[in-house]
C-alpha cells in the first residue's frame, strides 16, 4: 500500500479455541399475503428532499426513502421476557426505577446467552410464519438539476451500514463532506453514482414500521441477512444511460434470474463499496463472507469485530443498561438538542451530526405532542446484548475472498479494549486477512468516528477511493 499502516503486521497471530462460526441461515421470499407494504412514516410525506453540498459550486443530492421486506424468516423466534411480578411503590422512586432497569438489562443479557446455549423459548421460525419485518433504506443520487455527466469517471455505488442506536441518516454529514472532497479533486477518476443507507429493523423509521413485532431477542446475523436480502433481491438494476432514474417507495423484488446472477457473478453495472461502522462494519463483513461476488471493497470504520479472548461481560452490561435507561422523550426538538448538547458523550460530535440526529432520530408522538426516539431504548439495549457474531466474523476473516480490498479506519483518540481490543489485539484483527488490506488510525476520533470526525473520515475514504479506482479496469472485477 502507498500509505503507511498505523498498525504494523504482527510477527505471529495467537491461536484460540474455535467459536464454531455458524453459516447464515437461508432466506426466502415471504408469502404474498404477508407482503402488503406499510406506508412510509409521516416524516417522509415528501417523496424527495435534498442534501445540500458544502460548496454551492458542486452538485446537490436528492434523497428518497424506500421500504422492503426484511430477510424472511428471522434467525430468532419472537420472544418476550415475562413481566416482572412486583408491585413497586407509587410513585416509583429513583432508586427503585434504577434497580428495575438493572434487572431488565440483566434479563435481556441472560436471554441472549440462553439463546446461544440453545435453550428453547417455546417458539421457532416455523411456528411464526406471519412475522414479516421491514427494512427502510435511503437512496442518495445527484439532483437532476445538477446534471449527471462525469467525464468518463469510474461509477461506484456506496452502501452505508450504521452503528447500534443511530438512524440511517446519521451518515448525511459524512456524505456532504465526502461528496465535497471528492468533487473538489478534479484529478480523481471516481464518481459516486448512488449511495444507499440501510436501516436495521429496530432502528429509526424501520422501528416505527415494525412496532409491536420486535421481541426481546435479536441476532446480528439477521442484519447481515437483511443486507444480503437487499443487495440480492431488492437493489434495483442501475442503468448506465439513466443513473438518476426514480424508484418507487416500495422497492420491487428483482427477478430470480437477476438474483441468481448476482449470487454467482455480482452486479452487472455496479461496483459496490460498503462502508460499515461498528455494528454495521461487523454485519456487512459477515455479508461479504457469505456472498463475496457482491462486493468490490469494504471500508470498516472501527467495526465491532471482537477477538474471542476478550472478556466483554462488564462492557456489555454497561452498554445495555446505558441504552435502556437513556432519556427518550422531550417536549420539542429544541429541548432535545439542548439536552444532548449538555452531555459530554454528544459534546464530542460534529455539530452537523448532532443536528441530523435530532432531525431524523426523533419523531413526534401524535397522542402526546412530545418528541420521542424512533429507536426504542429497550431495542437498542437488545442489540447491544449480542454475544457471538463479532467473534464469528473475527474467526472467519482469513477466509474473506482476496479480491475484496479492506480498508480499516480505526479509532485513534482512545483505545477501546471492549470493541476491537487493545493495541496488540487490534493489530491482529486488521492483519487476520493480510491480502489486499490496509489500516489507519484516526487521532481525531474515538469509536464514534462517523459522529465525531465525519470530515476527517471523508478525507480518508476519498483517499482510498481515489487510489483504489484510479484507471480502474472493469475486467479486473470478479
Q: How far apart are the first and last CA of the chain?
A: 21
> Is residue 69 a contact partner of residue 132, using CB atoms and an 8 Å limit?
yes
Residue 45 burial class via C-beta count within 10 angstroms: exposed 0-12, middle 13-18, buried 19 and up: exposed
113-140 confidence digits (pLDDT tens): 999 988 765 433 344 557 899 999 999 9
What span, in angstroms and rounded, lies between the C-alpha atoms of 60 and 200? 27
Name 322's Cβ contacts closer than 8 Å, sequence gap at least 6: none
| Strand 329-330 relative to strand 371-373, pairing | antiparallel
The pLDDT score that the predictor gives to residue 477 is 46
> Is residue 304 a contact partner of residue 224, using CB atoms and an 8 Å limit?
no
Q: Where are the alpha helices (DSSP H) in 250-306?
A: 256-265, 279-290
Domain count across the chain: 1
Q: Containing domain of residue 77, as a range?
A: 32-476
Q: Is residue 10 part of a domain?
A: no
What span, in angstroms and rounded, lies between the C-alpha atoms of 285 and 288? 5
The pLDDT score that the predictor gives to residue 475 is 41
- Would you call 399 helix, strand, or coil by DSSP? helix
Name 49's Cβ contacts closer than 8 Å, sequence gap at least 6: 62, 63
40-81 confidence digits (pLDDT tens): 887 654 456 766 655 554 567 899 999 999 999 999 988 888
Tell me, what CATH number does 415's domain have? Answer: 3.40.50.1820
The pLDDT score that the predictor gives to residue 51 is 67
Residue 197, H or E segment: strand 190-199
pLDDT exceeding 90 applies to what percent of the chain?
Answer: 73
218-268 confidence digits (pLDDT tens): 999 999 999 999 999 999 998 665 556 889 999 999 999 999 999 999 999
Cis check: omega of the bond before 71, within 30 degrees of 0: no
C-alpha cell at 206: 424501520
What span, in angstroms and rounded, lies between the C-alpha atoms of 74 and 129? 10
The pLDDT score that the predictor gives to residue 94 is 84
Strand partners for 138: 65, 197
Q: Which of these ranges, 31-40, 191-200, 217-226, 388-397, has the smallest mean pLDDT? A: 31-40
C-alpha cell at 356: 441530523
The pLDDT score that the predictor gives to residue 430 is 98
Nearest of 201, 218, 217 to residue 132 by alpha carbon: 201
Q: Is residue 80 part of a domain?
A: yes
Distances (CA, A) of 395 to 73, 207, 285: 26, 31, 12
Nearest of 347, 379, 331, 341 to residue 167 by alpha carbon: 379
> Is residue 343 a contact partner of residue 327, using CB atoms and an 8 Å limit?
no
167-178 confidence digits (pLDDT tens): 999 999 999 999
C-alpha cell at 209: 414500521
The pLDDT score that the predictor gives to residue 419 is 82
Q: Is residue 100 part of a domain?
A: yes
Q: Cell numbers 437532476 label which residue?
A: 144
Alpha carbon 326 to its chain's center: 21
383-410 confidence digits (pLDDT tens): 999 989 999 999 999 999 999 999 999 9
Q: Is residue 8 part of a domain?
A: no
Q: Is residue 286 part of a domain?
A: yes
Burial code (b: 16+ CB inside 10 Å, e: under 16) for 20-37 equals ebeebeebeebeeeeeee
C-alpha cell at 233: 433481491
Nearest of 3, 76, 70 to residue 30 by alpha carbon: 70
DSSP 190: E
Q: Is residue 392 part of a domain?
A: yes
Burial code (b: 16+ CB inside 10 Å, e: under 16) for 250-278 equals bbebbeeebbebbeeebbeebbbbbbbbb
79-118 confidence digits (pLDDT tens): 888 776 555 556 678 888 899 999 999 999 999 999 998 8
C-alpha cell at 191: 464518481
Q: Which of these ranges, 7-11, 265-269, 419-423, has the smallest mean pLDDT? A: 419-423
341-379 confidence digits (pLDDT tens): 999 999 999 999 999 999 999 999 999 999 999 999 999
Is the CA virtual torsion 15, 300, 387, 129 positive or negative?
Answer: negative
Averaged pLDDT for residues 288-314: 97
The pLDDT score that the predictor gives to residue 409 is 97
Distances (CA, A) of 66 to 144, 329, 358, 425: 19, 27, 21, 39
By 3-state DSSP, what share of the chain in percent is helix, strand and coil, each rounded to 5? 35, 15, 45
144-186 confidence digits (pLDDT tens): 645 444 556 789 999 999 999 999 999 999 999 999 999 888 7
Q: Is residue 15 part of a domain?
A: no
Q: Where are the alpha helices (DSSP H) in 388-437?
A: 389-396, 423-430
> Is residue 291 a contact partner of residue 439, using CB atoms and an 8 Å limit?
no
What span, in angstroms and rounded, lies between the C-alpha atoms of 278 and 126? 31
> Is residue 3 a contact partner of residue 438, using CB atoms and an 8 Å limit?
yes
Any idea what the Cα angle at residue 306 is, between residues 9 and 392, rounded to 5°?
A: 105
Q: Is residue 22 part of a domain?
A: no
The pLDDT score that the predictor gives to residue 122 is 41
Amino acid at each position: 500500500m502507498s500509505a503507511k499502516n498505523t498498525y504494523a503486521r504482527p510477527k505471529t497471530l495467537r491461536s484460540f479455541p474455535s467459536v464454531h462460526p455458524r453459516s447464515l441461515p437461508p432466506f426466502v421470499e415471504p408469502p404474498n399475503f404477508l407482503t402488503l407494504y406499510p406506508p412510509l412514516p409521516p416524516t417522509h410525506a415528501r417523496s424527495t428532499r435534498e442534501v445540500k453540498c458544502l460548496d454551492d459550486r458542486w452538485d446537490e443530492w436528492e434523497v428518497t426513502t424506500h421500504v422492503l421486506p426484511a430477510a424472511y424468516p428471522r434467525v430468532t423466534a419472537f420472544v418476550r421476557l415475562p413481566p416482572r411480578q412486583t408491585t413497586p411503590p407509587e410513585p416509583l422512586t429513583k432508586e427503585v426505577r434504577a434497580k428495575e432497569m438493572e434487572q431488565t438489562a440483566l434479563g435481556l443479557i441472560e436471554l441472549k446467552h440462553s439463546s446461544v446455549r440453545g435453550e428453547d423459548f417455546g417458539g421457532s421460525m416455523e411456528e411464526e410464519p406471519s412475522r414479516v419485518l421491514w427494512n427502510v433504506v435511503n437512496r442518495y443520487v445527484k439532483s437532476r438539476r445538477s446534471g449527471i455527466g462525469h467525464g468518463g469517471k469510474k461509477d461506484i455505488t456506496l452502501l452505508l451500514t450504521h452503528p447500534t442506536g443511530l438512524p440511517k441518516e446519521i451518515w448525511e454529514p459524512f456524505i456532504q463532506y465526502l461528496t465535497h472532497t471528492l468533487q473538489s479533486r478534479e484529478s480523481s477518476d471516481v464518481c459516486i453514482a448512488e449511495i444507499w443507507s440501510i436501516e436495521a429493523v429496530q432502528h429509526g423509521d424501520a422501528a416505527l414500521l415494525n412496532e409491536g413485532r420486535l421481541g426481546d431477542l435479536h441476532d446480528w446475523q439477521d442484519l447481515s441477512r437483511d443486507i444480503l436480502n437487499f443487495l440480492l433481491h431488492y437493489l434495483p438494476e442501475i442503468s448506465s444511460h439513466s443513473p438518476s432514474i426514480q424508484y418507487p417507495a416500495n422497492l420491487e423484488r428483482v427477478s430470480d434470474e437477476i438474483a441468481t446472477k448476482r449470487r454467482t457473478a455480482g452486479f452487472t453495472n455496479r461496483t459496490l463499496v460498503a462502508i460499515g461502522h461498528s455494528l454495521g462494519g461487523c454485519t456487512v463483513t459477515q455479508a461479504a463472507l457469505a456472498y463475496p461476488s457482491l462486493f468490490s471493497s469494504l471500508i470498516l470504520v472501527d467495526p465491532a469485530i471482537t477477538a474471542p479472548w476478550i472478556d466483554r461481560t462488564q462492557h456489555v452490561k454497561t452498554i445495555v443498561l446505558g441504552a435502556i435507561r437513556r432519556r427518550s422523550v422531550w417536549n420539542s426538538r429544541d429541548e432535545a438538542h439542548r439536552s444532548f448538547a449538555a452531555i459530554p458523550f454528544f459534546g464530542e460530535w460534529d455539530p452537523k451530526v448532532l443536528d441530523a440526529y435530532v432531525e431524523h432520530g426523533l419523531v413526534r408522538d401524535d397522542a402526546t405532542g412530545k418528541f420521542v426516539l424512533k429507536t426504542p431504548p429497550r431495542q437498542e439495549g437488545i442489540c447491544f446484548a449480542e454475544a457471538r457474531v463479532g467473534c464469528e466474523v473475527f474467526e472467519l476473516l482469513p477466509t474473506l475472498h482476496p479480491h475484496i480490498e479492506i480498508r480499516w479506519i480505526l479509532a485513534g483518540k482512545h483505545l477501546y479494549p471492549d470493541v476491537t481490543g487493545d493495541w496488540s489485539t487490534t493489530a491482529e484483527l486488521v492483519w487476520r486477512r493480510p491480502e489486499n488490506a490496509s489500516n489507519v488510525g484516526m487521532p481525531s476520533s474515538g469509536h464514534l468516528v462517523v459522529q465525531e470526525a465525519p470530515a476527517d473520515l471523508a478525507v480518508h475514504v476519498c483517499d482510498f477511493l481515489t487510489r483504489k479506482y484510479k484507471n480502474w479496469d472493469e475486467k479486473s472485477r470478479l
